[in-house]
Amino acid sequence: MQRRTFLRTLAAALPAAARARVKPSQIGANTAIKGYSFFDAVDLLKRIGFPIIEIHPMGKPGPTPGEYPGFEFDRLSPEQKTSMKAALKGVPHITAHLPYTGHDYFAKDEAVAEAAVKAVDIALEGSAYFGAEVCVLHPKAGGGQTLETQWLAMIKRIRRWGDLAQRHKIRIALETGYPASIKEYVRLIREVDHPAVGATIDVGHQSKYAELAAKVRPEDRATPAGIRAYNDTTLAITEALGPKAFHFHIHDIEPATWAEHKPLGLGFVDYHRLFALLNKMNYTGYLIFEVGGEPDKMEGYSGPRNSDQAIS
C-alpha cells in the first residue's frame, strides 16, 4: 500500500494555489484483514509504514478464518493488554472502529439497547487504553423504531458517548450511511451539537442516500452521469459538514454495482475533486484505507499502479 505514491500523485494533480495539502502523515489503514491476528495485521501496517492504524474493539485477537482481528476489552487478560499495547508502540496515531454488528444500541427494547450501549462503552474504554484519538461509530436504525421515534434517544445517547469520549480525550466520528438521506444525516450531526462528535465520511456509503437513489437508476450507475452524481454526493456531504468532518474511510467503488471497499484504481472515486475540496477546507483529519480482498494480496492492493489509475 504505497500511501506516499498515492499522495505524491494526488498533490501533483491539485492546483498550486491550494493553501494546504493533505499529507502522507494523514493517511492510515485499518487492521480489517481476514484471517490475520491482531499482531500480524499491526505488524504488516507498521512494516508498510502507515503512521495511523485503525483498530477494532470487537472480535478476537487471534487469527480466525474469514474474520477480521480485534478484541473485546473486558475479555482481555492483563498480559494480552500489555502485549497488544506493545505491538502498537511506535505508531504515531491510533484510531478505532467501535462495534456495531449485533449491537442494537437504539432498540425500542430497553434491555437490548442497554446491553449494546454497554458494549460500546467498553469499546471506548479499550480504545482509550490503546491510545485512540478518534473512534468511529455507526448510527443505525433501532429495532422496533422509526427514525422519528428513535431521534431524541439517539441524540441523547450520542451526546453521552461524546461526554465519555471527551473525558478520554477522544473524538467520536459518526459514519455516513444512516440516517439514509443527506439532509437527515447532516441534521443529526448538527443537533447532537457536541464538541467531541463529528463525522466519518466513508466514500462508499453514498448509495444509501435517498437523494442519490432518486437521481440515478440502478441500470445507470456506471454511466458518466451516474458516477458524477455519486461523487457530487460525497462532496456535498463533506462541504455541508465543514469542520465537523473529522475522519474519512477511503477505497474505491465498482462502477456497475457500486460495490465498495475495492482497491484504488478499480473504481470511480474522484480523489482529484475530493482532495481539492479538503485542501480548500484545510482538512487536518485522517484518511483511513478500508480495502477488502484476499489477505495474501493485501499489501499490493493499493500499490503504485492502483494509485496512478485512481487519479488518471
pLDDT for 138-155, tens place per residue? 999 999 999 999 999 999
The domain segmentation of the chain, as residue ranges, is: 3-10+21-310
Would you place residue 249 in the very low, low, confident or very high pLDDT band (cuts 50, 70, 90)? very high
Contacts with 108 (C-beta within 8 Å, 6 or more apart), sequence order: 142, 143, 144, 145, 149, 150
Residue 296: per-residue pLDDT: 65
Q: The dihedral of CA 216, 278, 166, 81: what is its sign?
A: positive
Give the C-alpha separation, 175 to 246, whole Å. 10
Q: What are the grid coordinates assigned to 32, written together?
A: 480489517
Would you place residue 294 in the very low, low, confident or very high pLDDT band (cuts 50, 70, 90)? low
Residue 150: per-residue pLDDT: 97
**The whole model's pTM is what?**
0.90
Would you place residue 299 in the very low, low, confident or very high pLDDT band (cuts 50, 70, 90)? low
Q: How many CA atoms lie within 13 A of 169 on its CB side?
A: 5
Mean pLDDT of all residues in the chain?
Answer: 89
Mean pLDDT of 188-196: 98
Residues 280/251, Cβ–Cβ less than 8 Å? no
Give the C-alpha separation, 238 to 243, whole Å. 9
Give the pLDDT confidence of 212-241 residue by residue, as tens digits: 999 999 999 999 999 999 999 999 999 999
Q: What are the grid coordinates assigned to 6, written together?
A: 498515492
Helical segments of the chain, H only: 3-13, 38-48, 78-87, 110-129, 147-167, 182-192, 210-215, 224-241, 271-280, 304-310
Mean pLDDT of 109-119: 97
Contacts with 16 (C-beta within 8 Å, 6 or more apart), sequence order: none
Residue 256 has pLDDT above 70, yes or no: yes
Residue 301: per-residue pLDDT: 57
Q: Distances in Å between the alpha carbon of 71 and those of 59, 80, 81, 99, 286?
A: 5, 10, 10, 10, 23
Q: End-to-end CA distance of the chain, in Å?
A: 18
> What CATH number matches the domain at 3-10+21-310, 3.20.20.150, 3.40.50.720, 3.40.50.1100, 3.40.50.300?
3.20.20.150
Mean pLDDT of 163-192: 96
Q: Is 214 exposed, middle or buried (0-12, 13-18, 19+ CB in 10 A)?
A: exposed
- Nearest-CA neighbor of 247 among 141, 138, 154, 171? 171
Give the C-alpha separation, 158 to 164, whole Å. 10
